[in-house]
Amino acid sequence: MSVSGAEDRGPTLRRSLNLGHAVLYGLGVTVGAGIYVLVADTAGRAGIHAPLAFLVTAVLVGLTGASLAELGSRYPVAAGEAEYVRRGFRSDRMASVVGLLVIAMAIVSAAAISVGAAGYVRVFIPVPELLVIASVVIAMGAIATRGIVESVTFAGVMTLIEIGGLLTIAAAGFFTEPQVIARIPEMLPASFDASIWAGIMTASMLAVFAFVGFEGIVNIAEEMENPARTLPRAIFLTLAITTSLYVLVMWVTLVSLGPQTLATAKAPLAQVFERLTGGSPRVMSAIAVVATLNGIVVNLIMASRVMYGLGRSGALPAALSRISPSTATPVLATTVATAIALILALAMPIGQLADLSARITLVVFGLVNVALVLIKRSSTVSPDGLFKTPIWVPIAGTLSCVVFLVADLAIALKG
């Protein structure tokens, strides 16, 4: 049974999110831990060319974004990726597998961000790391069980704070660091040196984790007002804003600290904030706490919505599709997602969690792109009023995912 064709089983999700809500959600689940955590590692791999790695990743991820925009406007349901694959491959089993992968991706991301959040929180509250991780995950899980507007509004406020911190760094760099603009040409490699481009590609693979999350917008489609119009706009706005922030902050940080210093920095954004503004690095550490906590909330929301969709379709226990009459949210699904994220956060280091999240994401993206190709080839008529993309876009999106996965495998074998 399809998600979209499920029977009424009691309270349903409430259509109450507008474009502003959707973009704030998308930014909240995308911006944050990636840029706050990965700046140093990306510089270590690509050096002065690190911003280019984010641009390469943005272009390739954007192909999948366009595919999701069309699929989301065609089928505005929770557990979106699973429904797209079910319709494209005409297989309930494939849909269930993809749905489980999306749940895993969101939960693993939440766990990774939780570990990163603990490091920032301990700057202000010096208590054992495991206790901080447990407290953070449980508290963010509790927030995610509230009504969707309340949860997204909370995440939105935190998103504005974390973006404000990134904009402060970017603005300070352009106003106080005279070389920021003059050195822009250095971002581009002067030759086709294989070692340089290998560094850019490995950094691009790492940057995938920084973009993980924007696809979660499709999983709140059932809670959007006019999803056929709102969802595509939210996806493209999220990707455009995210990419601009990443490139600006990465470049300012590189010019201010230098590639070598940045590559070994433990709190790179806090260091560059202190250098450029003269303010205490604890200010940026506090903003980093906000960014990471925000990432946990939105990933738990995404995981719970996919659980809800799969529970309603029969792929997971029906109890996961139950909606609380008071909050209009899937409380049991959110609780389960929170519990699994807590276990992973306590058991695995952040590096392994980030790598695992990126790999799962690329597999899901590849399958979603293939699904759209199959849908376009089998469908002779498309409903009016939907966002539509040329068939070469999902084909290119599929190939980009394959390239990233093959590159990742080659890097792992070489290591």
Locate 52 and state its tokens.
């280019």
Round to the nearest angstrom and report the end-to-end CA distance of the chain. Answer: 45
3-class secondary-structure state, position 326 = coil
Distance, in Å, from the CA atom of 97 to the CA atom of 72, rounded to the nearest integer, reads 19
This prediction has a pTM of 0.78
Question: In this structure, are residues 374 and 89 in contact, taking their beta carbons and an 8 Å threshold?
Answer: yes
Q: How many helices (H) and strands (E) does the chain have?
A: 16, 0
Residues whose CB falls within 8 Å of the CB of residue 99, separated by 6 or more in sequence, listed in order: 79, 81, 82, 306, 309, 310, 315, 316
Give the pLDDT of the chain (415 residues) as one tens digit per residue. Answer: 344 444 444 555 555 577 887 888 788 777 766 677 678 788 888 889 999 999 999 998 999 999 999 998 888 876 678 889 989 999 988 988 988 998 998 899 889 888 877 877 887 888 888 999 999 899 989 888 876 666 667 667 777 887 888 888 888 888 887 788 888 888 888 778 778 888 888 888 778 878 887 887 887 777 777 777 888 999 999 999 999 999 999 999 998 888 888 887 767 787 888 888 888 878 888 888 877 787 788 788 888 888 888 888 788 899 998 888 877 778 899 999 999 999 999 998 877 787 788 888 899 999 999 999 999 988 756 666 678 899 999 999 999 999 888 877 776 676 5
Question: In this structure, are residues 45 and 304 in contact, taking their beta carbons and an 8 Å threshold?
Answer: no
> Among 182, 179, 164, which Cα is nearest to 273's?
164
Q: At what angle do helices 148-176 and 129-144 cross, to 10 degrees?
A: 120
Distance, in Å, from the CA atom of 141 to the CA atom of 184, rounded to the nearest integer, reads 42
